[in-house]
Amino acid sequence: MPAVRVLAKELAVPLRLGAAVLVWSLWSVAGALSRCRVDSEELFGDLSRLRGVDTLWLVSVALAAAVGLWLTWGETRWGSWALLLTRPVRRRRVVALKLLAGALVVLPVTALPIALLHGWVAWSGQAAWPYDPASAAALWRGWLAVPAWYLACFSTGLPARPTTAWRWLPLAGAAVLARGLGFVERPGWLALAVSAALAVGALLEAERMDWG
């Protein structure tokens, strides 16, 4: 399919970024674990405080922002939206494909290191038992904001909105979410609601924007 080939070409840079971030994250997790004894008290508490792991969130957000902006801001800056949309396909579908393609890079790359760290510590014999799943709660809570940051940056890069303030509104929503996740009882539902709102907003906007 032509649309798939175009998206595959556009994802070349995000895939390279994702691969680099994944290698760095796995290296950081492996280094953090190698510095801890099996019976280390560090493995009983908040895993997000482990040296080398404490920066995973920042790197994940940076990747989400870079991929989101690359997929939309680049098209807007280079004025190539009109060329991309010359094909007989709905604008919403083009934006949806770009959004989905970027998410398939960002979400697995940022979640895999946390899942591997969580699984390693929880595995029988690797840490004292009974294992407390809450030790990885802070890591997963931070990761819940990554989809929102990706979607916000993706939306920000769409063609010019009515006002400058409106353009940056999605980023404000992602920032509020990231700040508020630590204060709600069920952060997963909040993150899902905000991410869904950002995705729907981008798709609705795709039909009414001036793509020239």
Each residue's pLDDT tens digit in the chain (212 positions)? 555 665 666 778 889 999 999 999 999 888 877 776 544 555 556 677 777 777 888 899 999 999 998 988 877 777 667 666 666 667 788 888 889 999 999 999 999 999 988 887 777 555 555 566 677 788 888 899 999 999 999 988 887 555 555 677 788 888 888 778 777 778 888 888 889 988 988 888 777 766 55
71 contacts 157 by C-beta, under 8 angstroms: yes
pTM of the model: 0.83
139 contacts 56 by C-beta, under 8 angstroms: yes
114 contacts 153 by C-beta, under 8 angstroms: no
Rounded CA separation 51/32 (Å): 6
